[in-house]
Amino acid sequence: MDAMDAILEERERDLLRWRSRRGLVENDLYIEQFFAAYGDQLTRRHAAGLSALMDLADNDLMDLFMRRKEPEGDLDTPEVREVLQMVRKPV
């Protein structure tokens, strides 16, 4: 198994969740649903994708979550696209 496919340990997941807190409540709602649905299954690959998304400004992140934009440039990676697909999936 690839190291990137390893499931996150509880502490790693908690730190990622903490880092994912946003100033825009709408983003927080998407992120909370993401962790509720996938928290126990998150891998290092997912963590890399989510971390890249968390480097964005709130409005840019919301545009991606709501499909008003798609990832471009350095942000257009398989990890980011996979996390976006998970976030956008209806619960």
Residue 33 maps to which CATH number? 1.10.150.250
CA-nearest of 73, 90, 83 to 41 is 83
Helix residue ranges per DSSP H, 10-57: 10-19, 25-38, 44-54
Please give the residue range of the domain that contains residue 33: 3-88
Q: pLDDT digit of tens for each residue in the chain (91 aa)?
A: 689 999 999 999 999 999 999 999 999 999 999 999 999 999 999 999 999 999 999 999 999 999 999 999 999 999 999 999 999 998 6
Phi, psi of 59 (to 5 degrees): -65, -35
Q: Is the separation of the CB atoms in 54 and 17 below 8 Å? A: no
| Domain count along the chain | 1
